[in-house]
Amino acid sequence: MSDELILEMRGIRKAFPGVVANDNVSFDVRRGEVHALLGENGAGKSTLMNILYGLYRPDGGEIRVNGKAASFSSAREAIQAGIGMVHQHFMLIPVMTVAENIVLGVEPKKHLLLDESGAEQRVREISERFGLAVDPTALVSDITVGQQQRVEILKALYRGADLLILDEPTAVLTPQEAGELFQIIKSLQTDGKSIIFISHKLNEVLEIADRITVLRRGKTIETVPRKGATEESLARAMVGRDVLLHVEKTAAKPGDVLLAAKELHVLDDRGIEKVRGVSLEVRAGEIVGIAGVDGNGQTELIDAITGLQKIESGSVTIAGTQLTHASARAALDLGVGHIPEDRQRRGLVLEFSVAENIALHDYAKRPDARFGWLFPGRMTNRAKRLINDFDVRGGGPSTPAGALSGGNQQKLVAAREIDRDPKILIAAQPTRGLDVGAIEYLHRRLIAERDKGRAILLISLELDEILSLSDRILVLYEGQIAGEHTGEVSEEQIGLEMLGGRERSAA
C-alpha cells in the first residue's frame, strides 16, 4: 500500500426531496488499500458509491480519480476510469455461461461472432492471476452464490478495474464463503488493486480493512486506521450512542413444553428429504437456538412446524395439540408466531399498506372483519398503535410496506407476530441484513418476550447470534441434530458440529 491516492471525494453533497443523503462527505482511497465504508442502513453509503459510479450526479463537491478531476454521468464512464462495482444483488444472466457473462458487452469477436474459446481463455487467465477459481464454461444458474460473486468480481477486473466497490459483499455468503472472499480481497490487494468494502458488520470490517470511514445520517463521522479501532468504538460512531453489542439476559426459567417435534421427516419442494428425524422441545420462557450452515434443513423444519410444508412422518405438538396434517391457518390459530427468514418473499406483501400487512394473519377475525366485511379503520388504528410501540419509521399505516427500509420492514413483521400474543415464537434469521441499532433492538425484544413466558425457537446462520441469545443450542447438520448444548460452549465446538464433525478445512 502506498500513500498515493487513487480516489479523492471532497465535500460531496446530494439531496433528495425532503432529505440530504450526503452532506459534505469526504472520502479517499489509497492505492492497494482496503477501505471500509461503515454505516447503518440509510446512512448514505449507497448514495456516495452511486455518485462515484456515475449513477447519481452530486449537487456539490469534487471527485478526483488518480489525481485528475472526474465527473461521471454514467456507469460506463466510471468503468472506463477503472472503477468496478459489485452490487449486493448480482447482475448476471443465469442461462449464460460464466465466460459469456464476464465478456458481455465487450466480447472478443471472431468474424462478427463471439469468440467463445478466446473468451474462456481470457477469463481463465484473469481468474488464475487473482486466485478466483471458477469454471468459465459453467452456466451461472448452476453455480453457488459465492461463485456468482466471483463472476461479478471477474467482470469488473475484465473491464480493467483498479478500484473495486464491493457493496455488502458478505450479506449473501455463508461464513465459509466469506472467508474465501477475504482471501480473494487480500490477493487483489497484493496485486495493487484498491477496494472499497461497504458493510455494517463490525467484525468483518475489523478483519479486512486498512482504514475505516464511518458515515452517519449523511455525514462523515470519522476515518480511522484499523489499528486502535474496536467494535465498541465503531458502533458508537455508527449509531451515535453506546450500543450494547452483547445482550444482557438473566438465566431462563423454563416452564411447560409448548413446542415438541418427534422424529420429524420433511421433504423439500423437489422431493429431497431435508429433515431426517429431528426431535426437539421448546419450553415456555426459554430460547432454543438452532445453529447450522444454510441448507441443512432449517427452512423445511420451520415450514413443517408452521404448517407451510407437509410432514412426511413424525409429529409436531403445539401447546398440547398435535398437528399432523396441519395447515398454516391451524398453526397460527394454535398460537404460533413466525418471523420468517425472508421477510420480502414471505413475511410481507410489499404492495400492501402497513395496516394491511399487520392484518395478514387475522384479517378475517374480529376486530378486523366481521361476517366477511372488512373494517379498514380498525386495521389502521391497530397499525398506528404498533408503529408507535415498535418504533417503525419511514411511513404511516397507509404507506406501502415495500417503501420501508429493511430494518423497519423487519420491525413491522416482528410487531405483527408479537402483537398476536403467540405462545410460541419462531424467529428465523431475525436480524438478517439489519444494522447494529436494529439488531440490538430485536435482540432485546426477543429476550423480553422470553421473559414473558413465550417459547422461542431461534434459527440463525450467525453463530454469534445463536451463542448470545440462546438458553439451549441445537446444531442441525444434514437434517439431523448433530449436537445439543446447555450453558457454556465454545464457538469452535459448535463450528465443528455444524460441519458434521469434520475438520473445518474439509469444507
Partner 1 sequence: MSDVPVSHRQPGPVTRFALRLARLEGASAVLVPLATVILAFLMGGVVVFATQHGGIGTRVHNTLIAYNQILDGAGINWFGHFFRHPCLGFIPCHIASTNIHFPGGDIAAYNLSQTLLQTTTLVLTGLAVAFAFRCGMFNIGGQGQYLVGLIVANWIGVDLAGMSTLPHILIAISAATLAGAAWAGIAGVLKATVGAHEVISTIMLNWIAFWGASWLVGGGPLQDPTNPFDPTSSAVANSARLPAFWGTPNFQALDISVFIAIGALVTFWVLLNRTTVGYEVRAVGFNPDAAAYGGINVKKNLIRAMAISGAFAGLAGAVDMLGYLYHIGEPDIPFIQVGFLGIAVALLGRNTAVGVLFSALLFGGLLFGTTHGLAAVPHPVIELQLAPNLTWLIEGFVVLFVSAEIVILWVWNVRKKARLPGPARPASTMEVAA
CB of 446 to partner 1, least distance (A): 11
CB of 125 to partner 1, least distance (A): 29
**43 vs 143, beta carbon nearer partner 1:** 43
- Smaller CB separation from partner 1, 157 or 332: 332
Alpha carbons 213 and 231: distance in angstroms, whole number: 14
Q: Which one, 21 or 156, has the nearer CB to partner 1?
A: 21
The whole-angstrom separation of Cα 425 and Cα 448 is 12
Shortest separation between residue 274's beta carbon and partner 1, angstroms: 18
Give whichever of 108 and 453 is closer to partner 1, judged by the CB atom: 453
Q: Considering the complex, what minimum distance in angstroms separates the CB of residue 132 from partner 1?
A: 22
Grid coordinates given for 492: 469452535
Taking the CA atoms of residue 179, residue 181, residue 185 and residue 187 in that order, the dihedral angle to the nearest 10 degrees is: 80
Closer by beta carbon to partner 1, 5 or else 330: 330
Shorter beta-carbon distance to partner 1: residue 31 or 420: 420
| Residue 371 falls in which region: left (phi positive, over 0), alpha (psi -120 to 50) or beta | left
Task: Provide the minimum distance between the beta carbon of 119 and partner 1 in the complex, in angstroms, as a whole number.
Answer: 24
Residue pointed to by grid coordinates 475438520: 503
In Å, how far are 29, 33, 45, 232 from 2, measured between CA atoms? Answer: 10, 8, 25, 29
DSSP result, 78-130: HHHTTEEEE-SS----TTSBHHHHHHTTS--EETTEE-HHHHHHHHHHHHHHT
Partnered with residue 262 across adjacent β-strands are: 315
| 237: helix, strand or coil | helix
Q: Backbone phi, then psi, for 464, in 5-degree steps?
A: -55, -45
Check the CA dihedral 465-466-468-470 and report its sign: positive
Task: Please give the full DSSP string across 310-361, using - where no structure is assigned.
Answer: --SEEEEEETTEEESS--HHHHHHTTEEEE-S-IIIII--TTSBHHHHHTTT
Q: 336-364 burial by CB neighbour count: b if 16+ within 10 A, else e?
A: bbbbbbebeeebbeeeebbbbbbbbbbee
Smaller CB distance to partner 1: residue 32 or 430? Answer: 430
d(CA 466, CA 497): 14
Burial bucket for residue 34 (CB in 10 Å: 0-12, 13-18, 19+)? buried
Give the residue with the Cβ less far from partner 1, 5 or 349.
349
Shortest Cβ 295–partner 1 spacing (Å) = 19
Q: How far apart are CA 391 and CA 408, in angstroms?
A: 8
Residue with smaller CB distance to partner 1, 248 or 492:
248
CB of 405 to partner 1, least distance (A): 3
Q: What are phi and psi of 132, to 5 degrees?
A: -105, 80
Closest approach, Cβ 385 to partner 1, in A, equals 10
CB of 448 to partner 1, least distance (A): 4
Specify the residue, 88 or 315, whose C-beta has the smaller distance to partner 1.
88
**Nearest distance from C-beta of residue 137 to partner 1, angstroms:** 26
We find the least distance from the C-beta atom of residue 196 to partner 1, in angstroms, to be 16
Nearer Cβ to partner 1, position 187 or 399?
A: 399
Reported as half-sphere exposure (CB side, CA atoms, 13 A), residue 276 has a value of 11
